[in-house]
Amino acid sequence: MDSHIPVEVELIYEVMPCNALRCSQDPVNEPHPCSYFRQWGTYNSYDYIKDGAPVNREIQQPSEYKGKSYLLPEVLSGCRKAPILCLGINPNLAGFWEAKRNSIYPLFDDFQQYAHYFRYRNTAKLALPEKKYVEYGGGKEDTPFSNKDLKVPANSKGIRQIPTELQNQEMYLAYQNLLDSLADRMNWKQHQLSVGEDISYGNMVACASAKWITQKDPAVPDMPPMTVKEKDGIVQECFFKRKYFVRQLIQTLPKIILIFSQTTANAFISTFKEAFTEGHPAVNESIESLLNRKIVLRLGALPGGEVATARIIFAPHITGDPVKFKASKAKIIDQLEEEAKSKNIRLNSHTGHLMRPPGSCTLCPSMQIGKCDYEHEIVSLTGNEKLYPETAVHLLKADKSHQYSMIEKLSNLKFVSRDWNEAKE
């Protein structure tokens, strides 16, 4: 398991090709559980025209249309050492719905571009401008199950170049609003708090669907529910065997984890129930009840005896249950404020961002996608040494060995499949 590659870099190389490998290199007469995600159909995709990592941090680059494709699995979005982590059960698939059919998805074959996209994606994804989308033949008939490419003309170089626009995501804008509300409560006047820098966001399972669904929805008959065998197989493969989320969690060591939806809450609580040190949530306990007390998760012991913990804040789904989220928002901000006042999260007045948690990170310089803006805050888990990402390979190896001991302890938890079912809300 220990490849001497930093965890945050290792995950880039493992997650990007994961679903394709699972679905193409397993016995043909015994479909892999993760092939379930292909039942959601294919989506308009793009790649950057120029090879290699973009020279700036924008995800909007000169792009070419690649046709309909299945989607790449997703890694964590944002800085890997952001002190606040927002968590869902699996990535959302906006393009499934008719109103968002002009959504366009990355189909990179370049690991640097993949790392760049998820490091610098903040509150927006990409879409075709609606007028161009219709001009290319998009519309009501352009469904995830049509498998028909848009009619994008090639230029003189044979490239089907397309215009793109930023498509703000309501969920991610709400994350930003939580940061702004926290800054207002704390009277941080000169802050630069932002999604992608102070909040990262990810999922317990890496592949996308429009809904984590285990029963047929009569209102949307096109949505394919998972069978019990598929659901159990997906969770076992992605979460327990490959430990994509747990490995990222331990490398990040967030101070706060925000968990959205009753479904995600049930899955998280059932999986980590032995690791809660305060608040002790119960599976199927309502979000309203969970928001009424402090809940803390033990992440592991650090060198020197310090214990790494994360404050867990449960919340209604921002877009799936907006009425309940609005009613609960004040309580969510109360808990964020409590963590700020207790100095569990702190503003760095020089950067305008929150201080990074302990532990190493070399994603940006190692993948050559940008300079680490926080290198002077990064501290090795092996001691008090400052960890400068470009030069501290020997410390990284020690950090990684320690991380794996924490991962094995935290992830050696009983698998209870029924608690990953779709919530009955």
Task: State how far Cα 333 lies from the chain centre.
Answer: 21
pLDDT at 78 over 50: yes
Whether 332 contacts 321, CB under 8 Å:
no
The whole-number pLDDT of residue 403 equals 80
Q: 38: Cβ–Cβ under 8 A, 6 or more apart, which residues?
A: 23, 70
- CA–CA distance, 173 with 83 (Å, rounded to integer): 18
Q: Count Cβ atoms below 10 Å from residue 273 Cβ, excluding itself.
A: 16
The whole-number pLDDT of residue 386 equals 60
Q: Which residues of 231-348 form beta strands (DSSP E)?
A: 256-260, 276-278, 296-301, 307-315
pLDDT at 21 over 90: no
pLDDT at 3 over 90: no
3-state secondary structure of 99: helix
- CA–CA distance, 244 with 34 (Å, rounded to integer): 14
Q: 364: Cβ–Cβ under 8 A, 6 or more apart, which residues?
A: 119, 370, 371, 372, 389
What does each C-alpha distance from 271 to 43, 51, 276 come to in angstroms?
A: 32, 40, 11
Whether 44 contacts 146, CB under 8 Å:
no
Q: What is the dihedral of CA 252, 254, 260, 265, to 10 degrees?
A: 90
Mean pLDDT of 8-26: 91
Specify the DSSP element, H or E, that contains 275: none
More confident residue, 403 or 116: 116
Using alpha carbons only, what angle is made at residue 168 by residues 119 and 46, rounded to the nearest 5 degrees? 65
pLDDT at 423 over 90: no
Q: Count Cβ atoms below 10 Å from residue 293 Cβ, excluding itself.
A: 11
More confident residue, 379 or 4: 379
The whole-number pLDDT of residue 395 equals 57
The string of pLDDT tens digits covering residues 318-373 is 998 999 999 999 999 999 999 999 999 999 999 999 999 998 899 999 999 999 99
Mean pLDDT of 375-401: 67
What's the token pair of residue 14?
């493992």
Rounded to the nearest 5°, which phi and psi values hold at 75?
-100, 180
3-state secondary structure of 98: helix
The string of pLDDT tens digits covering residues 240-293 is 999 999 999 999 999 999 999 999 999 999 999 999 999 999 999 999 999 999
Q: Worst-scoring range by mean pLDDT, 78-92, 122-136, 386-400, 405-419? A: 386-400
End-to-end C-alpha distance for the chain, whole angstroms? 39
What does each C-alpha distance from 365 to 53, 122, 297, 388, 390 come to in angstroms?
A: 12, 19, 31, 10, 7
- CA–CA distance, 209 with 211 (Å, rounded to integer): 5
- CA–CA distance, 225 with 313 (Å, rounded to integer): 28
Rounded to the nearest 5°, which phi and psi values hold at 87?
-130, 135
Q: Going by DSSP bridges, is the β-strand pair 84-88/199-203 parallel, antiparallel, or unpaired?
A: parallel
3-state secondary structure of 248: helix
Read off the pLDDT band of 380 (50, 70, 90): confident
